Structure 1
Amino acid sequence: MEINELERMARAIRRRDLEAVYAAGAGHIGGEMSVIDILTALYFRVLKVYPDQPKHPGRDRFVLSKGHTACALYVTLAKRGFLPEEEIATFLAPHSRLNGHPNCNKVPGVETNTGPLGHGLPVAIGMAKAAKLSGAGYHTYVVTGDGEMQEGSNWEAIMAAAQFGLDNLTLVIDHNRFQQGASLADTNGLAPLRPRLEAFGWEVAEINGNAMAEVVPALEHRASRPYCIVAHTNKGHGISFMQDRVDWHHKVPNKDQYEIALAELSEAL
């Protein structure tokens, strides 16, 4: 897809995500809205994946470490053809395979179970290292939240990636500046993230993570060492009353709010 097509797809995914969260009465809509541009660019432009063969050995690997934003991933996977679009209506329903966190044993296209923060990046580094050992040509991508970067396991993994020279690994940090209950700065202010990653031997780029024209080239870049994209995003991006509001980490809109949000996203389509 070209940039304008990706932008349109991202808006459609945002609208469907909103509908699913509202219908389910639960979700993590703020962080879903912030990461959707990244997911869209990955699945509709960058990733080498095969919806009809989700376990194809040559596929690129993608890990959504911030697994609480699973609904955004499910909608993206459905739009890409990994599962029926009508199945999104079952999000969080009893016996649905579309749980609050992704499950690789149930949902095609999900590479590993995520939810406990600080696990996805270490797993992704294992995938990248496995490719090096076996001579496989796939690339591994992982998206973490910025609050998640407070987990010490991530920094151990970052050291390991540099030690192993994993130039087949791309980390994207969804830097929306808020986590559950507070801002990043008020909890454990890691910013600025770029010099911290560079100090560990990584190549780092900083972009507007809600601007598709910046997201695509950053994701398509290939480095000679582990590569991190610090994606500056907005919590609740695309919905005026949600944007940059910490209470929308996992708040669900009421009927009036839902109609306002739906109208705003519909205008953008």
Structure 2
Amino acid sequence: MAKFRISLNMEYCRSADKGFEEGVKIASELGYKYIEPMVHTGWGLLSEVQYFHSFSMEEDTLLMKEICDKYGIKVSSISGHSPLMKPEAAVSRLTRAIIFASALDAPFVNTDEMVKPDWMDDAFAHEAMKYSLTKAAMVAARHKVNICIEPHGIYTKTAEGLLKIVHLVPSPWIGVNWDTGNSYLAGEEDPYDGLTQVRDYVRHIHAKDISMEQSTQERGAVTGTPVGCACGEGMVKWDKVFEIMEPVDREIFLSVECGKIDEAERSLVFLEKALGNMLIKD
């Protein structure tokens, strides 16, 4: 039977203009034991003045660990989203994110295909992604970190398209980060049928719910969204998600991806109750 741990994607404090350490502190106060930080290259102005939660990979990895230890928090995964169709950016970014994750004992780095340029056809796009993933998979194997591809773009909006990318490179270190909200919003197929098709490759889940209002406005018109509403307050059928994943014999992180602090608080309460005996209590 699948067992779940609950984490919190740091996007939850973006709208509150909180920096990384303040975001970690609040997550701990809400009752979370794990977080999924976003990382970036270079020096972002908003992050440097502590108005944004993303953490620069120019910093010492142990600085992130030091901050997390201070508040009794562990890193479950790294949000290292890199444009797989743009190797000149993706290879360096993913490589560094994997090394960062390894130093923090975080076994997952999440990414997606991002945006396809108009001048790139489908065959070219998949060759570019294959190159990016080939390079990254070698690093992932050395560091024993999973690269998890999530539904977020034009190719990953269907289970077939998502698996095609996963299978571009034959590596046990490439799997799926299933995003419950993005798969629902894409509207290309039943999201629960899609989850069933990719279930054996799911290593990590973005627990993202979609409000009725957003569903009405955007379903079928977008392939993803940055954050959702509080888990249990939207259109996602969580009992169905857990039912589909139940036969999988491994631990899986549910990383809550909402947009507000109070939504993060309500999401934790909901998921702890909904998971029942499938929840690992640390």
Which TM-score tier does this pair reach, normalised by the shorter chain? 0.3 to 0.5
- With normalisation by structure 1, the TM-score equals 0.36
Q: Judging by fraction of residues, say which structure has more strand.
A: 2
